[in-house]
Amino acid sequence: MAVNQMRSFLKWAGGKYKIINRIQQALPNGRQLIEHFAGSGIVFFNVDFEEYLVADTIADLIHLYKQVQVQGNNFALYASALFTPENNTEVAFYDLRAKFNACTDLARKSALFVYLNRHCFNGLCRYCSKGQFNVPFVRYTKPTFSSVEMLNFHDKSKRAVFEVADIKVIMEKAEIGSVVYCDLPYALLTTMANFCSYTKDGFTLNDKQALADCAKKLIGRDIPVVISNHKTESTQSLYSKAKIISFEVFIQRISIFQPNFLYTREFVCN
């Protein structure tokens, strides 16, 4: 299912571009890819299936993908207008961030989401308990707007459905011919990881147990599931019946190597 490696138009903390070849090798053949916690869309972008169901719990991200899907070049031109030297300042960033948090127009909010993604710290997507985007500004020399990647995404999205949904709801839509991939929020390894909370509600141990239970049920129906995460005692316990493929991944800002990747296609159901 491998295709030529392409980058996303978004930055994303924990993005899978550097290990996409391993994910390509792990994903079995199928008609449809169901991907939850899609993030920057790197996996969707770099595998070849007839159909895609791409989901996330971050509504702003999925709304953005729908804007790119429907509007294509018109949206690219609209969003690119925010990438000016005048907007690459701390004052402008916090003004536009406040406008993003108050915005109800989906096209405008999606364009602002792209701007914030490229101007904030490390491409993080983080929300406070009130549901407001709160990642701080970082002065990059020249934040780039990736129009080529956005238009490539637009072309690829013609075979995709994008949904804001809980992971259990999405997994229940799998059927014979589906392949499920989940890059769920990672188990915390350092105190710094607390800064990288994926959603305002977090992803609890109960959520992880529910995901493991869903995976077991799908495997029992001969629907393959691949799940990636840090290899820790808790994740190994949750997936003790799975076939696990481990390898080290360099985490740039923490300067350490961490074991990574859980592979559940051969989940053994009790």
Residue 243 — very low, low, confident or very high, per pLDDT cuts 50/70/90? Answer: confident
Q: Are 257 and 226 in contact (CB under 8 A)?
A: no
What's the rounded Cα separation, in Å, for the pair 115 and 108?
Answer: 11
Q: Are 88 and 144 in contact (CB under 8 A)?
A: no
pLDDT beyond 70 at 73: yes
* Greatest extent of the chain over all pairs of C-alpha atoms, in Å: 60
Residue 266's identity, in one-letter code, is E
Q: Are 68 and 45 in contact (CB under 8 A)?
A: no
Q: Are 177 and 31 in contact (CB under 8 A)?
A: yes
Residue 35's identity, in one-letter code, is E
Whose structure tokens read 């799940």? 227
The reply to whether 49 and 174 lie within a common domain is yes
What tens digit of pLDDT does each residue of 43-70 get? 999 999 999 999 999 999 999 999 999 9
The reply to whether 211 and 127 lie within a common domain is no
Indicate the residue among 102, 123, 148 that finishes a domain: 148
The reply to whether 72 and 189 lie within a common domain is no
Indicate the residue among 115, 148, 181 that finishes a domain: 148
What tens digit of pLDDT does each residue of 141-163 get? 989 999 999 999 999 999 999 99
The reply to whether 84 and 21 lie within a common domain is no
Q: What is the CATH number of the domain that holds 86?
A: 1.10.1020.10
What's the rounded Cα separation, in Å, for the pair 84 and 102?
Answer: 22
Residue 254 — very low, low, confident or very high, per pLDDT cuts 50/70/90? Answer: very low
pLDDT beyond 50 at 267: no
**What is the pLDDT of the chain when averaged over all its residues?**
85
Q: What is the CATH number of the domain that holds 181?
A: 3.40.50.150
Number of independent structural domains in the chain:
2
Domain with 230 in it = 17-57+165-263
Rounded to 10°, the helix 106-119/59-71 angle is 110
The reply to whether 211 and 176 lie within a common domain is yes
Q: How far out from the chain centre does Cα 11 lie?
A: 10
With respect to residue 8, please indicate whether it lies within any of the assigned structural domains: no
The reply to whether 183 and 251 lie within a common domain is yes
What's the rounded Cα separation, in Å, for the pair 190 and 59?
Answer: 27
With respect to residue 137, please indicate whether it lies within any of the assigned structural domains: yes
pLDDT, residue 269, reads 30
